[in-house]
């Protein structure tokens, strides 16, 4: 676990962020608090239960009106313990509450057992069987179902509970009670956002999906990765009084405005000079998109470097962006002798031929901040070790999942394999291992973009919940992202900071533009995003 003050300070300079705790880290935070003597497990469970009730009532104010009816499904661990607290607190508000237990009450862990016994002083607990669920699946007037079956302790698929899932799904469709999940929707692995025992693509058809998920202390990676956001519905994190914990995995949030400001020296060279390499004539659109991204993100100057025969095409399409005809790799090497070129971007539309490999080699030898994307990655599919041998710490790789699989086939295979045990192998695990192997920052694109540095720091940047940006799934959007990272590198931002900041701005630009967005619009939406940040 990274706890070094220096590392946190470095992150703090780049962007705001919130730690995301794995199940193991969450348990450690709880143990540390209890060992400190200031709090007991029962205190934490009580706060957790109260937090769920408060969040549900805040989300659905109509639940405050009159006596309501709830069904609470409790599991065999402390997630179930939270469920017994919730049942008691709802009962205290005058609700009618039916409680079901999956598993053996004698084997509940101590705090959960304590709350089970307290509930038994109030009402009965029925075993969670198919019959019991059938009795409720069509029941009138159930306003709220509390899913407290499994939380961070999910170790294996609960296939025997297919019946629960099926009935909840039917229930959701028919009677439409609100479903609030305690910590995570049961079956979802809180480290990976994957439903254990399911094919990832079909999991959401059969899984427990919540309308609201209430987690404790800090969000978990699984709330943002893979199926997490769809499974959770909406996410609320409630404070249960634990100290802020350090963690190597973070949720990327808004970049610090000061970081992007152009206040200070007004000379254009003070903000760096980005170079985007382009492929042959007719294939230059991707490079132009990247170049526009680099310019709008604030690089002082941007040049498209292209084969001599592509100069006319680019010159006809570009104004503020310069065009530099290159005579092969020798031309690039010569150009890069000028140290005023501070950031490079290779890949978009570059082509998969041998020339691309040579351009990458030459660019990396110049040791500038360098983004490698698209063809610059795929070109090394046959022997990724050749690429890894040339990379340096100022590089950022920006693969989508397909390109990632070409460079890191073993990691992609692990991610593709069905998740059968919790905690499951996650996109964070895969990206962290890839960054360590490559020796540079790796940004693995997706709705759940994961950005890993070789020292183990990982930022998740999720276009989910209130930051969903479905219009971003459009041709060329990735080229603009690569260009934006390049522009920030050119401006002197560190590779991790550049990747995280660009990922955030990219989604924000898409959100600010909205429906109908195409890749060309992304750079043009940046000024509005910057104004919104107070720049
Ligand atoms: N940490 C904190 O600070 C706080 C934690 N809090 C709450 O505690 C929750 C974590 O509790 P937890 O560790 O007891 O785990 P939980 O998810 O209840 O399940 C474990 C049980 O399920 C079993 N089991 C697993 N998979 C199974 C399967 N497929 N099918 C059947 N059984 C299966 C597993 O069995 P085992 O693997 O041991 O054989 C074990 O018996 C957390 O999510 C939060 O809600 C709050 O109170 C606030 C403070
Ligand atoms: K749960």
Bridge partners of 18?
251
User: Which has more confidence, 348 or 8?
Assistant: 348
Q: Which residue has the higher pLDDT, 334 or 171?
A: 334
Contacts of 236 (CB under 8 A, 6+ apart): 55, 59, 212, 213, 214, 215
Task: Return the C-alpha torsion angle 307, 309, 312, 314, nearest 10.
Answer: -30
CATH of domain 270-415+422-533: 3.40.1190.20
Matching residue, tokens 């209890």: 34
* Residue 425 vs residues 234, 414, 430: alpha-carbon distances, Å: 24, 7, 7
Query: Which residue, 427, 465, 467, is CA-closest to 446?
Result: 427
**Is ligand 1 within 6 A of the CB of residue 78?**
yes
CB-based contact 318:324 (threshold 8 Å): no
Å from CA of 80 to ligand 2 middle: 8
> Can you tell me which atom of ligand 1 is nearest the CA of 80?
18
Atom of ligand 1 nearest to the CA of 242: 3
pLDDT at 89 over 90: yes
The answer to whether the beta carbons of residues 395 and 440 sit under 8 Å apart is yes
Which two structure tokens, joined as six digits, stand for 131?
């019959």
User: Which ligand is nearest to the Cα of residue 212, counting in written order?
Assistant: 2
Percent of the chain with pLDDT over 90: 81
Residue 11 has pLDDT above 50, yes or no: no
What pLDDT does residue 2 have? 29
Banded pLDDT at 7 (limits 50, 70, 90): very low
Arithmetic mean of pLDDT, 107-132: 94
Instruction: Dump the DSSP string for 417-468.
Output: S---SSSPP-HHHHHHHHHHHHTSEEEE-SSEEEEE-TTS-EEEEE--GGG-
Indicate the pLDDT class of residue 375, thresholds 50, 70 and 90: very high
Nearest of 84, 20, 33, 489 to residue 248 by alpha carbon: 20
At residue 168, the 3 state secondary structure works out as helix
> Taking a C-beta distance cutoff of 8 angstroms, is the pair 222, 228 a contact?
yes
Query: Ligand 1, residues 26, 74, 77, 89: which to mutate, most atoms within 8 A of Cβ?
Result: 77
pTM of the model: 0.94
The DSSP H or E segment spanning 344 is strand 343-346
Give the tokens for residue 456.
Answer: 């183990």
Q: Which residues of 246-258 are buried (b: 16+ CB within 10 A; e: fewer)?
A: bbbbbbbeebbee
Task: Report the candidate in 378, 295, 287 with the shortest Cα–Cα distance to residue 326.
Answer: 287
| DSSP classification of residue 474 | S
Average pLDDT over residues 211-220: 97
- Of ligand 1's listed atoms, the one at least distance from the Cα of 111 is 47
Question: Ligand 1: does its nearest atom lie under 6 Å from the Cβ of 34?
Answer: no
Range with the lowest mean pLDDT among 164-168, 226-230, 400-404?
Answer: 164-168
Give 81 Cα–ligand 1 centroid separation in angstroms.
9
Q: Are strands 142-148 and 69-74 parallel, antiparallel or unpaired?
A: parallel
**By three-state DSSP, how is residue 378 classified?**
helix
Q: Is 454 in the pocket of ligand 1 (CB under 6 A)?
A: no
Structural domain spans, the chain: 18-251, 270-415+422-533
| Res. 261 pLDDT band, cuts 50 70 90 | confident
| Whether residue 487 has pLDDT greater than 60 | yes
- Cβ atoms within 10 A of the Cβ of 4, count? 11
408 lines ligand 1 (CB under 6 A): no
Ligand 1 and 107: CB distance under 6 A = no
Q: Which of 94, 99, 97 is nearest to 65 (CA)?
A: 94
Residue 419 corresponds to which tokens in the numbers above?
Answer: 């998740």
Residue 81 pLDDT: 98
The answer to whether residues 380 and 357 touch, using CB atoms and an 8 Å cutoff, is yes
402 vs 131, residue with greater confidence:
402
At 158 the pLDDT is 74
Class of CATH domain 18-251:
alpha beta
Query: If you measure from the C-alpha of residue 370 to the centroid of ligand 2, how many angstroms do you get, rounded to a whole number?
Result: 43
User: Starting from the edge strand earliest in sequence, which strands make up the sheet with 69-74, in order?
Assistant: 125-127, 96-101, 69-74, 142-148, 178-182, 212-216, 235-238
Q: Show Cβ contacts of residue 28 under 8 Å, excluding neighbours closer than 6 positions.
A: 245
Determine what percent of the chain is predicted with pLDDT higher than 70.
94
Predicted pLDDT of residue 300: 95
Q: In the predicted model, is pLDDT for residue 485 greater than 80?
A: yes
Comparing C-alpha atoms, which of 270, 359, 345, 385 is closest to residue 307?
Answer: 359
**450 Cβ contact list (under 8 Å, min separation 6):** 225, 427, 428, 430, 431, 443, 444, 458, 459, 460, 461
What does the pLDDT read at residue 159? 60
What is the distance between the alpha carbons of residues 84 and 110, in angstroms, rounded to a whole number? 13
Chain mean pLDDT for the chain: 92
């Amino acid at each position: 676990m990274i706890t070094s003050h220096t590392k946190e300070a470095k992150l703090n300079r780049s962007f705001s962020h919130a730690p995301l705790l794995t199940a193991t880290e969450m348990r450690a935070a709880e143990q540390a608090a209890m060992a400190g003597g200031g709090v007991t497990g029962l205190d934490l469970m009580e706060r957790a239960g109260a937090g769920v009730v408060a969040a549900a009532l805040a989300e659905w104010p109509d639940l405050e009106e009159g006596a309501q009816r709830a069904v609470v499904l409790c599991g065999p661990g402390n997630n179930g313990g939270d469920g017994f607290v919730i049942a008691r607190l709802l009962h205290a508000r005058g609700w009618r509450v039916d409680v079901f237990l999956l598993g053996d009450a004698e084997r509940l862990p101590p705090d959960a057992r304590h709350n089970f016994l307290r509930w038994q002083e109030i009402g009965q607990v029925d075993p969670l069987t198919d019959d019991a669920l059938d009795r409720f699946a069509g029941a009138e007037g159930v306003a709220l179902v509390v899913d407290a079956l499994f939380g961070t302790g999910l170790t294996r698929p609960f296939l025997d509970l297919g019946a629960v899932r099926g009935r909840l799904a039917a229930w959701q469709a028919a009677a439409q009670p609100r479903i609030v999940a305690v910590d995570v929707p049961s079956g979802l692995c809180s480290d990976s956002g994957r439903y254990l025992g399911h094919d990832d693509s079909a999991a959401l058809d059969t899984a427990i999906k919540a309308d609201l998920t209430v987690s404790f202390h800090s969000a978990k990676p699984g709330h943002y990765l893979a199926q997490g956001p769809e499974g959770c519905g909406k996410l609320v994190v409630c404070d249960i009084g634990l100290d802020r914990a350090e963690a190597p995995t973070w949720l990327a949030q808004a970049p610090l405005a000061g970081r992007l400001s152009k206040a200070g020296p007004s000379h254009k060279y003070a903000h760096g000079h980005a170079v985007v390499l382009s492929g042959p004539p007719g294939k230059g659109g991707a490079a132009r998109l990247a170049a526009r991204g680099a310019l709008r993100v604030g690089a002082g100057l941007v040049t498209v470097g292209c084969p001599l025969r592509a100069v006319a095409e680019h010159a006809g399409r570009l104004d503020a962006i310069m065009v530099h005809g290159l005579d092969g790799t020798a031309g690039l090497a010569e150009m890069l002798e000028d140290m005023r070129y501070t950031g490079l971007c290779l890949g978009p539309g570059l082509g998969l031929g041998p020339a691309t490999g040579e351009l990458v080699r030459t660019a990396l030898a110049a040791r500038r901040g360098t983004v490698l994307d698209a063809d610059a990655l795929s070109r090394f599919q046959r022997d990724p070790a050749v690429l890894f041998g040339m990379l340096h710490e100022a590089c950022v790789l920006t693969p989508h999942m397909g390109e990632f699989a070409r460079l890191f086939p073993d990691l992609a295979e692990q991610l593709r394999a069905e998740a059968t045990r919790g905690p499951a192998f996650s996109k964070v695990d895969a990206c962290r291992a890839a960054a360590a192997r490559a020796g540079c920052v790796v940004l693995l694109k997706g709705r759940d973009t994961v950005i890993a540095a070789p020292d183990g720091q990982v930022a998740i940047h999720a276009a989910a919940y209130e930051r969903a940006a479905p219009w971003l799934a459009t041709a060329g959007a990735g080229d603009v992202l690569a260009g934006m990272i390049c522009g920030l590198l050119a401006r002197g931002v560190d590779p991790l900071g550049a990747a995280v900041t660009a990922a955030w701005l990219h989604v924000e630009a898409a959100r600010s533009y909205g429906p109908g967005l195409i890749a060309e619009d992304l750079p043009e939406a940046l000024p509005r995003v910057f104004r919104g940040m107070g720049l």
